[in-house]
Structure 1
Amino acid sequence: MKKILVSALLYIIAFVAHAQQKPQYTQYVFNNYLLNPAVSGIENYTDFKAGYRSQWTGLDGAPVTSYLTVNAPIGSNFVNGDATGMPAAGGVNPYSRLYAQEYRAAEPHHGIGLMIVSDKAGPISQTNLDATYAYHLGITDKLNLSVGVMAGVNRISLNTSLITLETALDPAIANGNLSQWKPDLGVGVWAYSGNYFVGASVQQLLKQNLYFSGTNTVTQSTTVPHYFFTAGYKIYLTDEVTLLPSVLVKIVNPVPASYDLNLKAAFGDRLWIGGAYRHNDSFSALAGVNVNSVINVGYSYDFTTSNLRTVSNGSHEIIISILFNNRYKVICPQHSF
């Protein structure tokens, strides 16, 4: 095989070889739905989110991720009843100690959702389109358990105009399928109460061959499952000030396991700030505001600590959340913390 431009080859290896093939998110606490389909319908309103992440800014061809997600509960006892332990029009502040003390498990209900995730790095682009379903059940007076599934398709494509080749007929891509559609499947489980959550999920369950050549003897690779384990616990400093430490562990064979540590401080139901650490990669600063019962906004900036810090200006991530059919006029999420 003739030489391919080094940078292009690195991008191909990074995204289609046995390595992490899913985007990473600094504000995972703000949208755990991206990682776990069991979160579908966890809130008592329709939750729409739009997110954008520019990773390693300043590095040509660095990953850029954007997404749209929406999920909602189904079930008259939950949607129309006092299923979350909150009186109509808001009532008890979900950040207050009183809310956690009086919290009761939600009525059994279903949740559905849809997510579209686009991830681009150099000449490689991936788009995931998945529908989700979850069933939520109160297993004790204060503890809920939900199980969920996601299913859809993944499109991966190679933009050859961004690659400089020794020869136009390089067998790595010549006469190949440069735009491929593959089935996608994932499952998850989520346990939650008024002041904590624990979840586990796996994405890319279906092993798929990925190669761009006309024959499967060149640049062949496969997708691998991605395992996510998350947990968080709300600590009350006062009735209006809370801390939420959380952790996300990612396992993608055969690369070493990685983890994110996150600490979020919330002030009433309006403002929050936080910090995060990603193992061998970055430190992050986070902030957000719950504008009203319709709009929430979150922003984070990653300070790169890996070897890429010499060419990277860090990573930006912003999320905008819109709360539709929010009949309780909740300003801050009750279960997404």
Structure 2
Amino acid sequence: MRKPFYLIFLTFHVGFYLLISSTVSFGQQLTQYSQWSWHQFAQNPAHAGIKQCIDVHSLYRVQWLGFEGAPRSGFLTLSVPLNSRRRQFLSARHGLGLKFETDRIAQFSIQRFNVAYAAHFNFNQTDRLSLGLYAGFVQTGYDPSSITTGVPDPVLENQGSFFSPDATFGAWYNSKNFYVGLVLQNLIPNKWDNISTDSKNRFHAIINGGYLFALNDQYALLPTLQMKFAARGKTAIDLAAHIDYQNMFSLGLGIRNADALMAFAQVKIKGQFSIGYSFGYTISKIQLGAKNTHEVSIRFTTCKPDRKSITGCSLFD
């Protein structure tokens, strides 16, 4: 009786993403999401199949609302375990996943498609090390049709799109109450020769972590920290804290260094369907032209709510 519900929801999920991807399609080289702690697999391939169930996530981000040519981004991910039984010490469980991401800023657009594989090594019932890899391709496009120059520019006339390989490595360690992750992105430094001989994908590294505090039998506090390093770029630091009520509803506040203040809200329906929203208020100099950033996310999982812990709150939700 539950299969029709799953099929209906998955159809809606894909339809929602197709709708947003028709309006978005490069921004800051790699997109930065405020809701990263709710969608770990979107940036860390080590999360492929980490849960013993099917996990589907989608998100749409509108950055710097009101700013001409501002970034529009989104992703759709699917994660599944290959085998769910925990076996002997350090024996690996495996997971697979798919990710499609689209990003557009001004005349640039990027489409990423990746397949993920991850191996999960359990030290005991709560401690786990996961290693994963994204492999796929990137389609980079440039459309100068909205740019007018007095003298024809061969660079601007060299429009179109091209494909290049893409790879990301991820590592993850978690215990009952904390996690730490490492992500190495753009491992293949592809050049954009049809735009400029000096243009290429830059290496990025991400380190993040969180700790779960059980305040009582109903509420939990989850502070999180993420540092994102870009070659020849500014380091982005996200600091946030989420309050969770019985793993059904959560609110949070955060700050990104010298860039934005953030607020989060997420509600879960029947424990398997989640809707999330985040609001970003720009505090950098760009606020003179645009102030707000919005993210809306939808998630579906076949996992049952975790009621074994004191609060029922999961590190991964």
Alpha-carbon shift at residue 333 of structure 1 (Å): 7.2
For residues 281 and 149 of structure 1, the distance between their equivalents in structure 2, rounded to whole angstroms, comes to 30
Match 1:334 to one of 277, 292, 314: 314
Alpha-carbon shift at residue 193 of structure 1 (Å): 1.8
SS for the counterpart of 1:166 is coil
Structure 1 vs Structure 2 CA RMSD: 2.1
Look up the match of 1:151. 135
Question: Any residues of structure 2 matched to 1:92-241 within 5 Å, and which?
Answer: 108-167=92-151, 169-174=152-157, 176=158, 178-213=160-195, 218=196, 220-241=198-219
Question: Any residues of structure 2 matched to 1:31-50 within 5 Å, and which?
Answer: 31-50=39-58
Look up the match of 2:3. none
Letter in 2 for 1:54: V
State how many pairs are aligned. 287
Alpha-carbon shift at residue 162 of structure 1 (Å): 2.1
Contact 1:173 1:212 in 2 (8 A): no
Unaligned runs of 5+ in 2: 1-25
For residues 133 and 162 of structure 1, the distance between their equivalents in structure 2, rounded to whole angstroms, comes to 40
SS for the counterpart of 1:173 is helix
- Structure 2 residue 292 is the aligned partner of structure 1 residue 308: no
For residues 182 and 136 of structure 1, the distance between their equivalents in structure 2, rounded to whole angstroms, comes to 29
For residues 74 and 224 of structure 1, the distance between their equivalents in structure 2, rounded to whole angstroms, comes to 33
Alpha-carbon shift at residue 32 of structure 1 (Å): 1.1
Look up the match of 1:92. none
TM-score, normalising length from structure 1? 0.80
Alpha-carbon shift at residue 141 of structure 1 (Å): 4.7
Look up the match of 1:86. none
- Structure 2 residue 71 is the aligned partner of structure 1 residue 56: no
Match 2:31 to one of 19, 23, 26: 23
Alpha-carbon shift at residue 106 of structure 1 (Å): 9.9
Look up the match of 1:3. none
Letter in 2 for 1:292: K
- Sort the Cα spacing of 1:146 and 1:123 in 2 relative to 1 into closer, same or farther, 3 A: same
Question: Any residues of structure 2 matched to 1:272-287 within 5 Å, and which?
Answer: 272-287=250-265
Look up the match of 1:288. 266
- Sort the Cα spacing of 1:106 and 1:320 in 2 relative to 1 into closer, same or farther, 3 A: farther
Contact 1:297 1:321 in 2 (8 A): yes
SS for the counterpart of 1:77 is coil
- Structure 2 residue 49 is the aligned partner of structure 1 residue 69: no
For residues 73 and 197 of structure 2, the distance between their equivalents in structure 1, rounded to whole angstroms, comes to 24
SS for the counterpart of 1:188 is strand
Unaligned runs of 5+ in 1: 1-14, 84-104
- Sort the Cα spacing of 1:112 and 1:125 in 2 relative to 1 into closer, same or farther, 3 A: same
For residues 293 and 140 of structure 1, the distance between their equivalents in structure 2, rounded to whole angstroms, comes to 26
Larger RCO, structure (CA 8 Å, separation 6 or more): 1
Residues 71-108 of structure 1, C-alpha deviations (whole Å, 9 max, x = no match): 01111415xxxx9xxxxxxxxxxxxxxxxxxxxx9974
Look up the match of 2:19. none
SS for the counterpart of 2:85 is helix
SS for the counterpart of 2:126 is coil
For residues 228 and 182 of structure 2, the distance between their equivalents in structure 1, rounded to whole angstroms, comes to 10
Alpha-carbon shift at residue 329 of structure 1 (Å): 5.2
Contact 1:43 1:333 in 2 (8 A): no
TM-score, normalising length from structure 2? 0.85
For residues 241 and 335 of structure 1, the distance between their equivalents in structure 2, rounded to whole angstroms, comes to 14
Match 2:240 to one of 237, 241, 262: 262
Contact 1:42 1:335 in 2 (8 A): no
**Higher CA-based Rg:** 1
Alpha-carbon shift at residue 43 of structure 1 (Å): 1.4
For residues 60 and 219 of structure 1, the distance between their equivalents in structure 2, rounded to whole angstroms, comes to 27
